[in-house]
Amino acid sequence: MALSSAIYNTLFKRTSTFALIIVGSAFFFERGFDLGCDTFFDSYNKGKQWKDIKGNYSQ
Amino acid sequence: MAARVGRICGAGLFKSNTTSSLNQISSYSTTRDWSRGRKALVGSLGILAGGAGAIIFALDRSVRASELELHPPKNPWSHNGWFDSLDHASVRRGYEVYKQVCSACHSLRFIAYRNLVGVTHTEEEAKAEAEEQMITDGPDEAGNMFKRPGKLSDYIPSPYPNEEAARAANNGAYPPDLSYITLARHGGEDYIFALLTGYHDAPAGIALREGQYFNPYFVGGAISMAQSLYNEVIEYSDGTPASASQLAKDVSTFLKWTAEPEFDDRKRMMVKAIGIFTILTMVSYYAKRFKWASLKTRKIEFKPKSK
């Protein structure tokens, strides 16, 4: 409770900081989400994609 | 938790407002104020549209049933499935098959050598592939067309200058451009595979004209393309045993890529779309339950006024 009201008072109460928080968290969420999805996709398809096999063709 | 989020946001985001919800419920139906005539009209329009759809569907089915055509079996492609990318080693071998076999008759007009870079070949390899071909360019200062070795930006040259030349060389049948062939045929890559491996002696009663061959997967059975894939008809540069079915599988995968070069990106987006929509669904479900909680748990009491 104390934590949430502290967060509210310092960050969310003023529109300027609140908007900043939204933009900032959207940025970091997007980066993290993309990274997570790409990591999953690349490990799921290990050995099939070009980046996995290009070592066989160039020195 | 919701109350806390609501308070943090300070916006009444999750605040449940019973009165307004109750007001909404009485105006739930969007057709409440319609006249009978209007309801009847819209209703019969709906029935008509549904009936027309059913008739079209039935007509389509009946046409299919009358075709003497063998549908290709579904194969377990390594790129089947929600998250599976293409097998690029197979795409690369498929390019070798196209180049050494199919390109004698079929064009691949919409693929340029630069498209191979980062998909099946390194940049140096793709350049070398392009330089093997002599491309007509021009006109030069004297107005003449001239030949030059290919560049990365060149499209894969076609075997025939135009459709008429192609027909003249193939008993009047036109070998279609293969760039988008997996999208242009029912069954896609399954069909290509079945077609290439499905050649047969014609059964009794089927008359083939000069230059025709029997293939049950081709509509009508009589195809003007001779069987072109046999065991060991080419040699793979990566040493994979070149059985006829391996060749067919690889060239089908290659043609899948030429038709859908965005295939891998699409599968990658699939992961992201499922992820983000899962999160959004959970949030909306929670918000809905929260907003409706007071409605669903309310009790209505009727107290007649005692006189």
- The string of pLDDT tens digits covering residues B235-249 is 999 999 999 999 999
Looking at every residue in chain A, the average pLDDT score rounds to 93
Q: What is the structure's pLDDT at B21?
A: 56
In a domain, B149, yes or no: no
B192 inside domain: yes
- Least CB-CB distance to A53: which of B89, B272, B275? B89
Q: B123: nearest CA in chain A? A: A58
pLDDT digits (tens, 9 = 90+) for B58-69: 888 776 655 666
- Residue B200 bridge partners (DSSP): B214
CB atoms within 10 A of CB B57: 10
Q: Express each pLDDT in A1-41 by its tens digit.
A: 789 999 999 999 999 999 999 999 999 999 999 999 999 99
pLDDT at B64: 66
Given an 8 Å threshold on Cβ–Cβ distance, is A37 in contact with B85? no
Top pLDDT among B31 and B116 is at: B116
Nearest beta carbon to residue A48 from set B8, B9, B78 = B78
Please tell me which of B34-43, B53-62, B271-280, B291-300 the model is most confident about, judged by mean pLDDT.
B271-280
In a domain, B166, yes or no: yes
Could you list the residue range(s) of the whole structural domain that residue B191 is in?
88-111+155-263
CB contact under 8 A, B88 and A41: no
pLDDT(B9) > 60: no
User: Minimal CA–CA distance to B264: which of B51, B118, B135, B145?
Assistant: B118
Q: CA B221, B223, B224 angle in degrees (round to 5)?
A: 160
Q: State whether B268 and A44 contact (CB < 8 Å).
A: no
Residue B146 phi/psi, 5-degree rounding, is -140, 165
Q: Are B173 and B213 in contact (CB under 8 A)?
A: no
Which residues from A are below 8 Å from B275, CB to CB? 33, 36-37
Report if residue B20 sits inside a domain. Answer: no
CA–CA separation, B259 and B262 (whole Å): 9
Question: At residue B284, does pLDDT exceed 70?
Answer: yes
Quote the percentage of chain B above a pLDDT of 90.
74
Q: Please check the confidence at residue B4 and state whether its pLDDT lies above 70.
A: no
pLDDT of B61 = 79
Q: Is the pLDDT of residue B26 over 60?
A: no
Percent of chain A with pLDDT over 90: 83
User: Interface pTM (ipTM) of the complex?
Assistant: 0.83
**Residues sharing a CB contact under 8 Å with residue B114, sequence separation 6 or more, in sequence order:** B126, B152, B153
Q: CB neighbours (10 Å) of residue B128?
A: 13
> What pLDDT sits at residue B62?
74
- Cβ atoms within 10 A of the Cβ of B126, count? 20
More confident residue, B16 or A5: A5
Taking the CB of residue B100, how many other CB atoms lie within 10 A of it? 13
The mean predicted confidence, pLDDT, of chain B is: 90
Q: Is residue B49 part of a domain?
A: no
Q: What pLDDT band is residue B79 in, cutting at 50, 70 and 90?
A: very high
Average pLDDT over residues B104-132: 96
Domain assignment present for residue B75? The answer is no
Q: Do A12 and B10 make contact, defined as CB atoms within 8 angstroms?
A: yes
Residues of chain A positioned with their CB less than 8 A from the CB of B122: 54, 57-58
Q: What is the CATH number of the domain that holds B211?
A: 1.10.760.10
CA B182/CA B256 separation, integer angstroms: 6
Q: Say yes or no to pLDDT of B7 above 90.
A: no
Position B212 scores a pLDDT of 94
pLDDT for res B65: 57
**Ranked by mean pLDDT, which of B29-33, B56-60, B130-134 comes out on top?**
B130-134
Average pLDDT rounded to a whole number, residues B76-95 = 96
- B194 belongs to a structural domain: yes
Cα separation values, B279 from A33, A53, B142, B275, Å? 11, 34, 66, 7
DSSP output for B147-192: EEE--TTSBPPPSSSSHHHHHHHTTT------TTHHHHSTTHHHHH
Higher pLDDT, B298 or B175: B175
Radius of gyration of chain A from its Cα atoms, rounded to whole angstroms: 21
How many helices (H) and strands (E) are present in chain B, helices listed first? 11, 4
- Domain assignment present for residue B27? The answer is no
Q: Give the count of domains, chain B.
A: 1
Residue B176's closest CA among B153, B203, B158, B200? B158
